[in-house]
Amino acid sequence: MKKSQLLIILTLLALLVTINQLFTEASSLRRYLGGLPWYGWAGISGFLVVTGIWFALRDAARARRLLEEPVEKHLDEKVQRIQLSKEQLQKYDRDGPDYPHPVIIADQCIGCQACVDACPHNVIAMVGRIAAAVRRADCMEDTACQVACPVDACIVVNTTKVIKPRPVPKRDKKTFMTNVPGCYLIGDVSGTPLIKNAANEGADVINHIAQQLKKSPPEPKAQFDVAIVGIGPAGLSTKSMETRFWTSP
C-alpha cells in the first residue's frame, strides 16, 4: 500500500472519530468507541484490510509486469538521443547489469569531467584521464550524465526516461560550422568544457576557413575575412592561427 493511500485511510478514521466527539453526549459509551458498535468497527476494519490487500496485490502485479517485460518495449527511439549498438555493448558493457546504469565509450571520451560533475550519486569517476562507471549499483537513473556529455561518450542504458538533448546550437563535428553558413561555434560555448579541446578546435576551424577562402574568396564588400567573437582559450587559439595563416607567404 502506498503512503498516500494509508494517509487517506487514517484521515477518514480521524474525521469519523472527530464527528463522533462533537455530536455525542459526554456520558455516552459510544463517544469513546467512535459512535459505532463493535460489529461496526469490525466491519470497517475488515473492509480496510481487504482493500489494503487488494491495492498491495495490484501494485505488486504491476511491478512484476514491468520487470518481466523487456526494456526495449518502453523505449521510444524518437525521444532517446542516442542508443548503443550491440557491438558497443559487447565492447564497453559486456557484463553490465539489467538495471539502468551509465556506459562510457572510452574511445570517444575527452576527459572533460562533465558527466562526473553532473552525476548526483557519484556513480562516475575519472580513472586516469577517462571517465568510468565505478559504482553502477548506485545509479538512480538520473540521466544528467548523458545530457552533460558533449561528445556522446556517456550513455545511460536500460532506461525508460526521456533524455532531452543539451540546449546548444547544432554544429558539424568536423568543421564546427553551425546551421548558419559561415558561422562557426567552438570552445566552452559549444558545450565542451575543456581548454585543450577548445585550443585544438580553434586551430582546426581557422585551418578549415583558410582552405575555404582559397577556394572561394570573400565578397569585395566584406570588411573582414574572419571575425572572432570571444577571447577565451578557443578565441586565443583561433587568433594565433589566423595571424599565422594570413601573414605567411
pLDDT of residue 205 exceeding 80, the answer is: yes
Q: What integer is the mean pLDDT of 173-185?
A: 84
pLDDT of residue 132 exceeding 90, the answer is: yes
CB 160, CB 79: distance < 8 Å: no
Any idea which of 10-14, 92-96, 130-134 has the lowest mean pLDDT? 10-14
Between CA 109 and CA 90 the distance in angstroms is 18
Helix (H) or strand (E) holding 172: none
pLDDT of residue 209: 85
74-157: in CATH 3.30.70.20: yes
Q: What integer is the mean pLDDT of 212-217?
A: 79
pLDDT of residue 223 exceeding 80, the answer is: no
pLDDT tens-digit readout, 7-55 = 777 787 777 777 666 666 655 555 555 556 667 667 777 887 888 788 8
Which of these, 82, 102, 75, lies nearest to 161 by C-alpha position? 75
**Between 190 and 207, residue with greater pLDDT:** 207
Between CA 200 and CA 209 the distance in angstroms is 14
Strand intervals (E) in 23-152: 101-104, 124-127, 130-133
Question: Which range is most confident: 115-119, 172-176, 233-237, 239-243?
Answer: 115-119
pLDDT of residue 139: 92
Question: Which range is most confident: 1-15, 61-75, 217-231?
Answer: 217-231
- Which residue bears the cell 561518450? 153
Q: Which residues contact 41 (CB under 8 A, 6 or more apart)?
A: 33, 34
Domain assignments of the chain as residue spans, ordered by start: 3-68, 74-157, 188-247
pLDDT of residue 243: 66
pLDDT tens-digit readout, 77-91 = 444 446 777 888 888
pLDDT of residue 38: 65
pLDDT of residue 173 exceeding 50, the answer is: yes
Q: Which residues contact 232 (CB under 8 A, 6 or more apart)?
A: 187, 188, 198
Q: Which residues contact 80 (CB under 8 A, 6 or more apart)?
A: 162, 163
**Neighbouring C-beta atoms of residue 27, cutoff 10 Å:** 6
Q: What integer is the mean pLDDT of 200-227?
A: 80
pLDDT of residue 94: 85
| pTM listed for this prediction | 0.48
pLDDT of residue 187: 78
pLDDT of residue 66: 65
Indicate the DSSP class of residue 26.
T
